[in-house]
Copies of this chain bind each other. A is one copy, B any other.
Amino acid sequence: MSLTQKSANKVCNGTLTKYTFTSSSLGSLETSINVFLPSSATSTSPKPVLYFLSGLTCTEDNAAQKGGFFSAAEAEGIALVFPDTSPRGAGIEGEDESYDFGTGAGFYLNATKSPWDKHYKMYEFITSELPSKLSDLPIDTKKASIFGHSMGGHGALTLYLKNRDLYRSASAFSPICNPTACPWGEKAFNGYLKGGVEEGKQYDATLLLKEAKDGVKILVDSGTADDFYKQGQLLPENFEKVAKDKGFKDVQVRLQDGYDHSYYFISTFAGEHVKFHAKFLKQ
């Protein structure tokens, strides 16, 4: 195994371990992940895995420290994996200038535009390389679901909708639901993709849902006091409309009264999201 352990903390009777490794999909840069194993995980009893994709500016640490997921994950016997939100240290000019592009803002896509295309391949990293790196841990990566927050909610929904064979369910807190129609998504797609927003349509959860076959299992929570929701960056209503038009009964979009975009919101519903995925992961 090419994982290097950096730290370990006992939490909620399980263990959170930070690992680093050199990522081939991210152009041979070192990346860090946090992995939570419930106490019941052993080599003879590997556990299902739930990936959490964080939002703009975050690292692998924010959701581990503030998300409040461990109590439910321990109770359900589910492993959690928290990757970083972008490659780091690619050395591209302008990489660190914006909070919403470059470092900390990989948008879970495969960049096709130079110079970003050498390192910014978070889509390939999450869907392909990351599961292979977990092979020596007591994790059954064939039983996987995915969730995330904001940009990471966009990542969770799109990676799920594009890879129904890899993930059993998806959920999201305050996701960017329709990135081809909001400023964050337009900036990312125009920056990372040769074909700009047009090419970005393949990474738009609302458009992907239009093409989806039935059986999708999705839970979305968004807060009504979320400034980014008010600014039209998230557009859960567009996603919900498609779900209704398609008659997808297992897509729930909930607007939570008075909640904002913060980890206080995430931690409030953290246990509920873990339990949502447990239904499918433990089948």
Q: How far is the CA of A13 from the CA of B66 in the complex (A)?
A: 17
- Tell me which residues across on chain B come within 8 A of A267, comparing CB atoms: 11-12, 68, 70
Q: Does A98 contact B (CB under 8 A)?
A: no
- Does A99 count as interface, using CB distance less than 8 angstroms? no
CB neighbours of A263 from chain B (8 A): 65
Closest CB in chain B relative to A57 CB, distance in Å: 15
Cβ-defined contact, B66 with A264, below 8 A: no
Contact B65 A260 (CB under 8 A): no
Could you tell me the distance in whole angstroms from the C-beta of A61 to the nearest C-beta in chain B? 11
- Complex formed: what's the CA distance from A223 to B70 in Å? 18
Whether B260 and A9, one on each chain, are in contact in the complex, defined by CB atoms closer than 8 angstroms, is yes
Chain A 207-249 residues near chain B, CB threshold 8 A: 223, 225
New A-B pairs, 16, CB < 8 Å, besides A10-B258, A11-B265: A9-B260, A9-B262, A9-B265, A10-B259, A10-B260, A10-B265, A12-B267, A12-B268, A13-B268, A65-B65, A65-B66, A66-B66, A68-B68, A68-B71, A70-B264, A70-B268
- A-B pairs, top 8 by smallest CB distance, nearest first, are A11-B264, A9-B264, A10-B258, A10-B259, A12-B268, A65-B66, A9-B262, A68-B68
